């Protein structure tokens, strides 16, 4: 969790106060600022294109780690539009359909992830954020070891449960 030393509104020192059942950073002055530490929304996509699933490795990740395409929302953007934009930006693919898989709180990162099953078409063109991709057939995806990025496995399992994968 990000901590403030000084109030971002009025620059008074920040103090810790027990509010709504937890310790929070609050302004010691009169401005009323409370750092609620609300989670950041993130969108993620399990991408299916040309009869294969596409996982990606972010440049910041160690060799061998692959997971879903993900990104942040622009101001005023719908999550479904955000994921279509991210798939286009990161893989160069056009999104044909976008089916909701689930919401996943990632407490360690203070994020709430909205995951979609995305069918896409086009020619893959990676942007600078993506170091490498992995194309998998359905059986390989189901058996894929996401390593420490366990959320990918949970999303794949939920997509199976919802019948999104078996429809392909």
| CA distance linking residue 105 with residue 75, whole number of Å | 21
Shortest spacing between CB 32 and Zn ion, in angstroms:
7
Q: Is 96 in the site for Zn ion (CB under 5 A)?
A: no
- Judged by beta carbon, residue 12 or residue 52, the one nearer Zn ion is 12
Is the CB of 13 or the CB of 105 nearer to Zn ion?
Answer: 13
Residue 20 Cβ vs Zn ion, minimum distance, rounded to whole Å:
19
Q: Does 9 bind Zn ion (CB under 5 A)?
A: yes
Q: Which residue number, 12 or 111, has a Cβ lying nearer to Zn ion?
A: 12
User: Which CB atom, from 28 or from 111, has the smaller least distance to Zn ion?
Assistant: 28
The candidate with the shortest Cα–Cα distance to 141, out of 165, 163, 161, is: 165
Helix and strand element counts for the chain (H, E)? 3, 9
By C-alpha distance, which of 78, 84, 61, 75 is closest to 134?
61
Site residues for Zn ion, 11-70, by CB under 5 A, read: 12, 27, 29, 31, 33
Report the C-alpha gap between 129 and 127 in whole angstroms: 6
Compute the least distance from the CB of residue 21 to Zn ion, in Å: 22
Count the site residues for Zn ion by CB under 5 A.
8
How close are the terminal C-alpha atoms of the chain, in Å?
Answer: 40
Helix or strand run (H / E) with residue 85:
helix 79-91
Q: Residue 150: in which H helix or E strand, if any?
A: helix 150-161
- Report in angstroms how near the CB of residue 5 gets to Zn ion at its nearest: 12
> What is the contact surface with Zn ion in residues (CB under 5 A)?
7, 9-10, 12, 27, 29, 31, 33
């Amino acid at each position: 969790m990000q901590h403030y030393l000084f109030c971002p509104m009025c620059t008074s020192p920040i103090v810790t106060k027990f509010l709504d059942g937890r310790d929070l950073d609050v302004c010691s002055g009169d401005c009323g600022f409370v750092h609620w530490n609300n989670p950041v929304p993130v969108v993620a996509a399990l991408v299916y294109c040309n009869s294969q699933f596409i996982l990606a490795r972010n440049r910041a990740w160690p060799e061998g780690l692959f997971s879903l395409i993900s990104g942040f929302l622009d101001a005023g953007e719908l999550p479904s539009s955000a994921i279509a934009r991210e798939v286009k930006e990161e893989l160069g693919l056009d999104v044909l359909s976008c089916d909701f898989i689930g919401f996943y709180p990632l407490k360690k990162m203070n994020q709430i992830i909205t995951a979609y099953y995305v069918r896409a078409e086009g020619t893959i063109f990676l942007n600078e954020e993506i170091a490498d991709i992995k194309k998998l057939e359905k059986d390989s995806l189901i058996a894929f070891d996401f390593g420490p990025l366990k959320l990918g496995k949970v999303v794949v399992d939920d997509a199976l449960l919802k019948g999104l994968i078996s429809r392909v």
